[in-house]
Structure 1
Amino acid sequence: MWRKRLRLAIAVFVVVFAAGVAMSLRRPNPQRNAPPAVPQSDGKSVSETHGGGIAKRFQQGRTKLSFTFGKQITYDDGRSKFLDGVKLTLPDRDGRTIEIAASEATVATPPGKDLSEAAFAGNVTLTTSDAITVKSATATYNEADGVAHVPGPLTFSHGRMTGEGVGASYDRTHNVLEILAQVKVDVAPDEAGAGSMHVTSAAATMARNDHVLKFMGAAHMQGKDRTTDADNATMFLSPDDKLVQRMELRGNSKMTGSGSAPQSMEAQDIDLVYGPDGRALQTANLRERSVVQLPGEAGKPGRRVAGRTIDIAMAPDGATVTRLTATEPVQVDLPAEGDVPARRIRATALNATGAPNAGLQDATFTGNIDFRESRAAAGKVAAINRTARAEQLVVRTKPGFGNLERAEFHDNVHFTDGTDTTADAPFAIYDVTADRLDLSPGSGHHGPGPHAVDAQFTVDARTINMQLSAQKLTADTGVRSEIRPQKPGAAKGDVKVPAMLKQDEPVNVTSKTLAYDSGAERGVYGGDARLWQDDTVIQADTIEIDNKTGNLHAKGKARSQM
């Protein structure tokens, strides 16, 4: 019974299933809607991608480059055009990254290569991981040499520095940015409000790995209180690029400033070293046609030092000169101040030193000394025209290489005062304050013994002291003097020789001491004084001669021979 029921149920299922299959074969299938096709925006393209994307290339498991874009159009020659905002990111082997962002870019991808060249246009911004930013209208990047090129006007920034120029290249391999033309740079003040600067040049290079900034072609730097010019200027920066550690100026180099620091420095080339703050100058080395202008006292002219080379060392304040050396030909000009005459010193070499709180005060000149001192007559102030030659000159000045106080002339000294007075000695001290010249053999010095001459007489002695403006002279030990006859053409009676002597022949005198007043034309010879002319001899303890009156006085053990 149950078997009959099972067979009946199976038969009913088969009939119903067959009917369902038949109905499905007769009824048509509903048609699905295909997604709408993206219209081609460029008829020459082979494919286009919309909606944004990112493409990456890998090398040895590391990202070689990545390209982010809003739209991509690909052409059959391997070019791809990226639109709606693009950014190329290029990591390098040292962990640094360069990014180039723009409105659009065209990328050349030759067969078998990831990237050959990319051309960017519209709001181009190149940024490096060490904070260099370059902005321009267009740029290109060449993968073969790893260099990004900017053909037109641009702006750039790095830290406190902003600038502009025309044309640039960035070498990502060597991390070097070059600005090719019309460079203008502004450096903002630091946290302390100091260190601002404006720079212009024909071109510039920023070598980031070496921390070097170079300005080429008519480099001009304007700081708060200093101006610097040179054909080329190279700054060597601290590791964080915040401070200038040293600077090299090459070609027609010049610095001018104010304050107590050197007012100007000029040379073919100048090397500068700065202190820990990056602003206080510590040393300056000038090479070829070197000139330094040191400041004078407040409101007074400065002092000029010239030489083939000049080396300067500064106190920690960066303003006070504590050492200055110069090599041939050296010339120092000390300008006139009021009644103080102008002075000029020439030599083969110069070495000047001073304390940090005072500046230069002691200077030694060596080789072919030529000293000149001059002042024009004005009212009751007499003219001065003095010269000196020697092999060495040691001077003492007021602080800061100020007015001359003392000058020591060493070896083969020859001194002149006006047209009539001369002096020679192995060693001479010119006491400027006392207006006195002291002649002596010195110690280990060379040259003939002290010898002085004026229009009326000559004198030789172991020591001679001359009061220059007062025209007075004293001599000591081994005095030998010659009183000259009146010069032909001189007014009658200008020089009167004692009446017992011939008026047209010189008179000789020896003694231990001499006190002579040229203005009064009076000389006093003391200690075993002996006067003679031909066969006439006068001896005494003291002989006094008055060349104005022609009087002669012999005192103490006086005796004569006619």
Structure 2
Amino acid sequence: MQVTIERVRRWLVVIALAVLVLLGAVFGYARYRAHRFLTRLPKQLGIDVTSETNGFTWSQSVKGKTLFTIHAAKAIQRHDGKTTLHDVVIILYGRTVDEQHKERTDRIYGNEFEYDQPNGVIRAVGEVHIDLQAPGATDPHAAVAAARRAGSQDESQEHDVIHVRTSGLVFLQKLGVAATDEPLDFHANGVDGDARGADYDSDTGVLILRKDVKLRSTRPGSESATVFANRAELDRLQHKAVFNVAHFQSPERNLTADNVFLDLRDNGSPQHARAEGHVVMIGQDGSRVETPHAETNLSENNQPQFLKMIDGVRYTSETAASESRAVQVKFNKFGRAETADLSGSVRGNETSVVEKRSVSADHVNLHFSSVGKGPASLREIKATGAAQVTTTPLATPKGSGPASTVLSADTLVADLDGEGKLAHITHLTGEGHTAMEQTLADGGLRKSTSDHLDAHLSAPSKVLPANAGPKKPAKQEIPLESAVQTGNVVILDRQMPAPAKKPKSSSAATAATESHATAARAEFDGPTDRVVLTGSPRIDSGGTNIVADRIGLNRSTGDADATGNVKGSYASEPGRDPMHVLAASAEFHHAASSASFFGVNGGNARLWQGSSMVEAPVIDLDQKTQTLHAHTDHIDAKNTVHTSLLNQVSSGPPKASATVKPRPANGGVTRIVASDLLYRGDLPQPTAVFSGGARVQNGDGIIVSDVVTATMKPAADKTTPQAGAMMAGAVDHIVAEGAVHLQQTGRSGTGSRLTYDVAEGDYVLSGTPDAPPHVTDAQHGQVTGASLLFHAGDDSVVIVAAPGKRVRAETRVKR
């Protein structure tokens, strides 16, 4: 190859270019290595910084409204696109306007935050603080200074500020939501608390405490209280808070519920609370209230002002229990109950050391009284709608006194006295369908109904000791002191028979006896166990009916007294007329089955049965022995007993002969006037004995003697007394004794004994040997003998001579 200058020149140019390219490549590679080394060096040294700025501020607005502003004393831009902020204050304005606070702002602040601007995430590093409803700050430096000052608890106790301290907080800029899973504590205007995990929405202002919530009241002058909950939610715009599975504790009471809803004041204190689901309230004294729903108003110092419970309420305590559909309670300023309204099938009972009492009604209103912060004492019970109050004394020995007293009415109002366990009912009034019922320890019953009731119950006279047992019963308590019932009074008394000491057989047991009474007014006296009836009173007992102007009844013994226009009737055996009585006053003795009837002001009591009748100042009647005693209480009074007896009619053919004239009608009734009458109906042939001077008159004549005995027709079974036939039988015969005087038409006689056969009209007049009977008539003159037999209406006289003596007759001859 030929080498020329020109070719050499080309080679040199090519070599020079190659050297330049090689040098460029060498230098380029060296520069690449240096740049790569410098780029990796910060990361190898732990440095990810692209720029650093002092006084960083960044805001985000929507439609001219600023949503939040971030202030930081220093911002360091990192290589990974994130920014580290120091001494940060995030001011949140929210998108929702609070009507109460037009300039509402919240702030989040801490020493260091990591800001991921592309993703809109701000994450706190270390401890962070949140002030809800904090004042706004336009100067970043002023905001940082305010945040630092608010770091201490004393500075953060501002009105309307809730201060939260936590860590691990994440703020999502696009959503306006801050959240943490870490523990947190907070305080605001007298309330401290802590929880685990929280969510905060800056747009709505809602703060959610996720679990393990605990709040403590520290406001001076208010009741200390603690709230536990599984979850809590605070809506500051609506001034509401919600606690799930909540437990409220205070020195006065505890409350648990599935959910509690609070309405808050501007200062954050609760003014209204509503509890839902398994609500249980426990008082300081251990009393317990259970209900599905409850709501209350609270005062500034957390004291209840009003409490409402619905859908079933149950109350229990050491001494009382009640249940109803709804309850409303009003409290005084010290949180003590003033009134309580219970409605819907109200049932309640309470036990003091002196009595048990129970209340039932459709609606019950309770009134309480208290002194200062002292306990509330029940002072009045008003029950309406089928109201009933039952009291049972605890100090009643077995077998004596009332075992319980039941008072019922459409409306009952009871006044109470005494404190705590010594409280007892003292006064009770009832309106509409009132009833008062006492069950006795022996099984007896006393019941009275009326339109109106006013009762006073006795105060306990003995307090039972705490260890009192059945072996040492305390003094008997009679709960009813006095009572007045008016309007359509009806009384029922059921008395149990006294137990027999040695009963012959079980079949011999006596049945209980009942008595009924009606009146316009009844006045009860507890200590004497007596009731006074006025206003057309009437008593019905065992076939006996009594009416009078006024009737007094001893309910323990069954004895009674009546005054003013007394009228009575006694039922007799079947087929016979009842016995009737009229008197000015009367006394009745239940155990003896006896009664006494009295006249007044010279008048007589009157008793009659069928055609038989007795009138006397005093008539004593004994049904048990079938005796009647008519008499006077005045020693000097004579001939005060007037009696009419039905005459026995002859069962044989009438007597008729040439010498016997037909017997004239005698009117069928014998009238007897005496000073005393004793009737005995317990004999096979009842008798009526008239003494103190007796005068007998009927159609056959007049008999006057010292004593007259009227014998009634014998019963079919002569061995059986005529039970219930008091004065109802007809007179079979009459015996007059003493100074006997007989007066008939055209005939008169004297003697010491006269027997008169009422049915036949036959007389037998006798005397003594020294004073034989003597008869004078118009036909025979004077006749004397041992005994004289003659017939009513017959001119003949049969003279029976005494042994060894002659009869004597003096006949008058007409001229």
TM-score bin (small chain): 0.7 to 0.9
- Which residue pairs with 1:253 in the alignment? 279
SS for the counterpart of 2:164 is strand
- Aligned partners of 1:48, 1:479: CA distance in 2, in Å? 114
Judged with a 3 Å threshold, the aligned counterparts in structure 2 of structure 1 residues 552 and 316 are, in CA distance, closer, same or farther, namely same
State which of 396, 402, 412 in structure 2 corresponds to 1:393: 412
State which of 383, 386, 390 in structure 2 corresponds to 1:372: 390
State which of 288, 292, 312 in structure 1 corresponds to 2:311: 288
1:41-70 Cα shifts (integer Å, max 9, x gaps): 379998533575524236459694225265
**Is the CA contact (8 Å cut-off) linking 2:580 and 2:608 kept in structure 1?**
yes
State which of 526, 530, 542 in structure 1 corresponds to 2:585: 542
- Aligned partners of 1:334, 1:197: CA distance in 2, in Å? 30
Greater shift in the superposed pair: 515-524 or 552-561: 515-524
Map residues 266-415 of structure 1 onto 2, 5 A cutoff: 266-275=290-299, 277-291=300-314, 304-321=321-338, 323-338=339-354, 341-353=355-367, 361-376=379-394, 378-379=396-397, 382=401, 384-398=403-417, 402-415=423-436
Deviation of 1:125 (Å): 2.9
**Is the CA contact (8 Å cut-off) linking 2:319 and 2:352 kept in structure 1?**
no
Q: So what's the TM-score if we normalise by structure 1?
A: 0.75
- Which residue pairs with 2:676 in the alignment? none
SS for the counterpart of 1:40 is helix
SS for the counterpart of 2:238 is coil
Judged with a 3 Å threshold, the aligned counterparts in structure 2 of structure 1 residues 373 and 58 are, in CA distance, closer, same or farther, namely closer
- Aligned partners of 2:251, 2:593: CA distance in 1, in Å? 71
- Aligned partners of 2:553, 2:387: CA distance in 1, in Å? 29
- Which residue pairs with 2:540 in the alignment? 482
1:395-429 Cα shifts (integer Å, max 9, x gaps): 22338895212222222233321142221222222
**Is the CA contact (8 Å cut-off) linking 1:450 and 1:463 kept in structure 2?**
no
**Is the CA contact (8 Å cut-off) linking 1:165 and 1:181 kept in structure 2?**
yes
Q: Counterpart of 2:242 in structure 1: which amino acid?
A: K
Q: So what's the TM-score if we normalise by structure 2?
A: 0.53
- Which residue pairs with 1:426 in the alignment? 451
**Is the CA contact (8 Å cut-off) linking 2:407 and 2:436 kept in structure 1?**
yes
- Aligned partners of 1:547, 1:47: CA distance in 2, in Å? 117
Structure whose residues are more often strand by fraction: 1
- Which residue pairs with 1:211 in the alignment? 239
Q: Counterpart of 2:173 in structure 1: which amino acid?
A: E
Deviation of 1:247 (Å): 2.0
SS for the counterpart of 2:414 is strand
Q: Counterpart of 1:244 in structure 2: which amino acid?
A: P
Judged with a 3 Å threshold, the aligned counterparts in structure 2 of structure 1 residues 330 and 400 are, in CA distance, closer, same or farther, namely farther
Greater shift in the superposed pair: 367-376 or 348-357: 348-357
- Aligned partners of 2:43, 2:402: CA distance in 1, in Å? 95
Judged with a 3 Å threshold, the aligned counterparts in structure 2 of structure 1 residues 96 and 512 are, in CA distance, closer, same or farther, namely same
- Aligned partners of 2:65, 2:350: CA distance in 1, in Å? 73
State which of 548, 570, 589 in structure 2 corresponds to 1:533: 570
- Which residue pairs with 1:19 in the alignment? none
Does residue 169 (structure 1) correspond to residue 199 (structure 2)? The answer is: yes
**Is the CA contact (8 Å cut-off) linking 1:334 and 1:403 kept in structure 2?**
no
- Which residue pairs with 1:500 in the alignment? none
- Which residue pairs with 1:437 in the alignment? 483
**Is the CA contact (8 Å cut-off) linking 2:191 and 2:219 kept in structure 1?**
no
Map residues 212-231 of structure 1 onto 2, 5 A cutoff: 212-217=240-245, 219-231=246-258
- Which residue pairs with 1:118 in the alignment? 122
1:479-520 Cα shifts (integer Å, max 9, x gaps): 211222xxxxxxxxxxxxxxxxxxxxx222222221222334
Greater shift in the superposed pair: 323-332 or 97-106: 97-106
- Aligned partners of 2:516, 2:219: CA distance in 1, in Å? 69
**Is the CA contact (8 Å cut-off) linking 1:517 and 1:523 kept in structure 2?**
yes
Greater shift in the superposed pair: 422-431 or 44-53: 44-53
1:245-295 Cα shifts (integer Å, max 9, x gaps): 222222222333348xx96544222222233x433332212222224579x
Judged with a 3 Å threshold, the aligned counterparts in structure 2 of structure 1 residues 288 and 48 are, in CA distance, closer, same or farther, namely same
- Aligned partners of 1:118, 1:449: CA distance in 2, in Å? 86
- Aligned partners of 1:63, 1:351: CA distance in 2, in Å? 55
Q: List gaps (5 residues or longer) in structure 2.
A: 1-37, 95-102, 135-159, 459-479, 496-512, 572-576, 610-815
Does residue 199 (structure 1) correspond to residue 220 (structure 2)? The answer is: no
Greater shift in the superposed pair: 94-103 or 142-151: 94-103
- Aligned partners of 2:57, 2:273: CA distance in 1, in Å? 45
Does residue 560 (structure 1) correspond to residue 607 (structure 2)? The answer is: yes
Does residue 186 (structure 1) correspond to residue 216 (structure 2)? The answer is: yes
Higher relative contact order (CA 8 A, sep 6+): 1
- Aligned partners of 2:249, 2:519: CA distance in 1, in Å? 60
- Aligned partners of 2:164, 2:348: CA distance in 1, in Å? 49
Does residue 461 (structure 1) correspond to residue 519 (structure 2)? The answer is: yes
- Aligned partners of 2:368, 2:185: CA distance in 1, in Å? 47
Judged with a 3 Å threshold, the aligned counterparts in structure 2 of structure 1 residues 422 and 469 are, in CA distance, closer, same or farther, namely farther
- Aligned partners of 1:164, 1:42: CA distance in 2, in Å? 42
**Is the CA contact (8 Å cut-off) linking 1:439 and 1:450 kept in structure 2?**
no
State which of 492, 499, 509 in structure 2 corresponds to 1:452: 492
Judged with a 3 Å threshold, the aligned counterparts in structure 2 of structure 1 residues 325 and 518 are, in CA distance, closer, same or farther, namely closer
1:301-333 Cα shifts (integer Å, max 9, x gaps): 766553211112233443241x32221111232
- Aligned partners of 1:61, 1:389: CA distance in 2, in Å? 71
- Aligned partners of 1:87, 1:254: CA distance in 2, in Å? 46
- Aligned partners of 2:541, 2:179: CA distance in 1, in Å? 89
Judged with a 3 Å threshold, the aligned counterparts in structure 2 of structure 1 residues 138 and 538 are, in CA distance, closer, same or farther, namely same
Q: Counterpart of 1:435 in structure 2: which amino acid?
A: E
SS for the counterpart of 2:306 is strand
- Which residue pairs with 1:80 in the alignment? 82
- Aligned partners of 2:531, 2:164: CA distance in 1, in Å? 78
- Aligned partners of 2:402, 2:536: CA distance in 1, in Å? 33
Judged with a 3 Å threshold, the aligned counterparts in structure 2 of structure 1 residues 399 and 517 are, in CA distance, closer, same or farther, namely closer
State which of 539, 544, 548 in structure 2 corresponds to 1:507: 544
RMSD in angstroms over aligned alpha carbons?
A: 3.4
- Which residue pairs with 1:14 in the alignment? none
- Aligned partners of 1:137, 1:61: CA distance in 2, in Å? 29
**Is the CA contact (8 Å cut-off) linking 1:440 and 1:450 kept in structure 2?**
no
1:342-394 Cα shifts (integer Å, max 9, x gaps): 11111111234567879764443221223322235555884522334432222
Computing the radius of gyration from Cα coordinates, the structure with the larger value is 2
1:151-172 Cα shifts (integer Å, max 9, x gaps): 2322222233222212101111
Judged with a 3 Å threshold, the aligned counterparts in structure 2 of structure 1 residues 303 and 61 are, in CA distance, closer, same or farther, namely closer
SS for the counterpart of 1:331 is strand
- Aligned partners of 2:188, 2:303: CA distance in 1, in Å? 23
1:92-149 Cα shifts (integer Å, max 9, x gaps): 1635131242544251415xxxxx2223332233334253333333121112221101
**Is the CA contact (8 Å cut-off) linking 2:129 and 2:163 kept in structure 1?**
yes
SS for the counterpart of 1:41 is helix
- Aligned partners of 2:48, 2:195: CA distance in 1, in Å? 40
- Which residue pairs with 1:28 in the alignment? none
